[in-house]
């Protein structure tokens, strides 16, 4: 693989704070909500499945003439200006574009963390418009794994407990929870770091814990907003290899990056400018392995069917 250029110098340390809410201090609204999505408040039962569920379609994401306008007093920011895109199940998409071009805004809508001003968004054939917040939270919990640039791990909490947390809040019992967390950490190459605190892990290892947390619930869709933005070259490729493996195993991956070398691992590159798609380039077929992927024997937890997941939750 080609070396990365323009690496940022040092990894961001694990966020400091006393509690989960504080952990996400400094993160954007979307990160807070994604944290909420994957780590709802203790005691809150898993939200009931939404009534609008339908049979899965090949297109996991259908975005149609999406606009997002932020109003700040008299000023309107047109963050998305009519974006239409379809992402098939099993694709691996890199979203690129200059700062402020609308990448995170688009991803936050795709992740059901935010709603569009206008336009339609179908996730697995289901129109997310009109869903109540608890339904959206349920969709996020069941279908989507989020990874952010700043890891968002809870300090003074072991790697395995960090990975288990979303499953605690989703109501999964201790046995399957621990097994899944161990599997996920093994899948990201951290079987020997289960009981380390974030402060005892390198930046790359912390991000791998965050990836393990995202995949432990077995989501079919992984959304990552600049997941390698705080990593050095070596850690970047370790993390990218994991995303590639997850994609090779059938998960749909959408990641935002500023780096050409990172986008090279994706099957498709979408570039935004001023809230519009200006380039949509396929680098490898949806069916088949991602371009730079070389299998190296590790296995990630296989995605259970919704029925298997429900059975485990009920146990």
Alpha helices in 5-102 (DSSP H): 20-23, 29-38
Select 82 or 100, whichever has its Cβ closest to ligand ATP. Answer: 100
The CB-of-145 to ligand ATP minimum distance in angstroms stands at 19
Long-range interactions of 240-245: CB distance < 8 A, separation 24+: 240/265, 240/292, 241/293, 241/296, 242/187, 242/188, 242/189, 242/208, 242/211, 242/300, 243/92, 243/211, 244/92, 244/289, 244/290, 244/292, 244/293, 245/187, 245/293, 245/295, 245/298, 245/300
The answer to whether 227 and 207 have CB atoms below 8 angstroms apart is yes
Rule CB under 5 A: is residue 228 a binding residue for Mg ion? no
Rule CB under 6 A: is residue 19 a binding residue for ligand ATP? no
Question: Which does residue 70 bind out of ligand ATP, Mg ion, none, counting CB within 5 to 8 angstroms by kind?
Answer: ligand ATP
Stretch near ligand ATP under the rule CB under 6 A, chosen from 98-106, 213-221, 259-267, 304-312: 98-106
Rule CB under 6 A: is residue 149 a binding residue for ligand ATP? no
Rule CB under 6 A: is residue 305 a binding residue for ligand ATP? no
User: Which residues sit opposite 271 in a β-bridge?
Assistant: 96, 279
CA–CA distance, 267 with 62 (Å, rounded to integer)? 18
Stretch near Mg ion under the rule CB under 5 A, chosen from 4-12, 35-43, 99-107, 118-126: 99-107
Rule CB under 6 A: is residue 72 a binding residue for ligand ATP? yes
The answer to whether 42 and 168 have CB atoms below 8 angstroms apart is yes
Binding residues for ligand ATP, rule CB under 6 A, total 12
Rule CB under 6 A: is residue 99 a binding residue for ligand ATP? yes
Among 13, 26, 100, 289, binds ligand ATP (CB under 6 A): 100
Rule CB under 5 A: is residue 104 a binding residue for Mg ion? yes
Contact footprint for ligand ATP (CB under 6 A): 70, 72, 77, 79, 97, 99-105
Contact footprint for Mg ion (CB under 5 A): 103-104
């Amino acid at each position: 693989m080609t070396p990365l250029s323009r690496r940022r110098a040092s990894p961001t340390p694990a966020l400091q704070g006393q509690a989960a809410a504080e952990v996400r201090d400094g993160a954007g609204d979307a990160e807070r909500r994604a944290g909420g999505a994957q780590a709802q408040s203790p005691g809150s039962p898993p939200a009931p499945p939404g009534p609008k569920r339908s049979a899965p379609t090949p297109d996991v994401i259908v975005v149609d003439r999406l606009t997002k306008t932020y109003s700040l007093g008299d000023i309107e920011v047109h963050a998305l200006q009519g974006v239409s895109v379809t992402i098939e199940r099993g694709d691996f998409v890199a979203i690129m574009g200059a700062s402020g071009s609308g990448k995170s805004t688009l991803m936050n809508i795709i992740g059901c963390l935010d709603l569009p001003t206008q336009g339609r968004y179908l996730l697995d054939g289901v129109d997310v418009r009109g869903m109540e917040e608890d339904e959206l939270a349920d969709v996020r919990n069941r279908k989507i794994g989020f990874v952010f640039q700043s890891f968002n791990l809870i300090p003074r909490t072991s790697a395995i407990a960090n990975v288990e947390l979303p499953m605690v809040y989703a109501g999964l019992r201790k046995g399957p929870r621990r097994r899944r967390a161990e599997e996920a950490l093994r899948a990201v190459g951290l079987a020997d770091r289960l009981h380390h605190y974030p402060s005892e892990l390198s930046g790359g290892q912390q991000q791998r814990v965050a990836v393990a947390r995202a995949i432990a619930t077995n989501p079919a869709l992984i959304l990552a907003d600049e997941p390698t933005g705080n990593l050095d070259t070596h850690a970047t490729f370790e993390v990218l290899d994991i995303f590639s493996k997850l994609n090779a195993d059938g998960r749909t991956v959408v990641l935002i990056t500023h780096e050409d070398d990172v986008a090279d691992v994706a099957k498709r590159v979408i570039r935004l400018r001023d809230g519009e798609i200006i380039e949509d380039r396929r680098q490898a077929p949806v069916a088949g392995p991602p371009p730079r992927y070389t299998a190296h024997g590790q296995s990630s937890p296989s995605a259970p069917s919704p029925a298997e997941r429900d059975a485990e939750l009920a146990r």
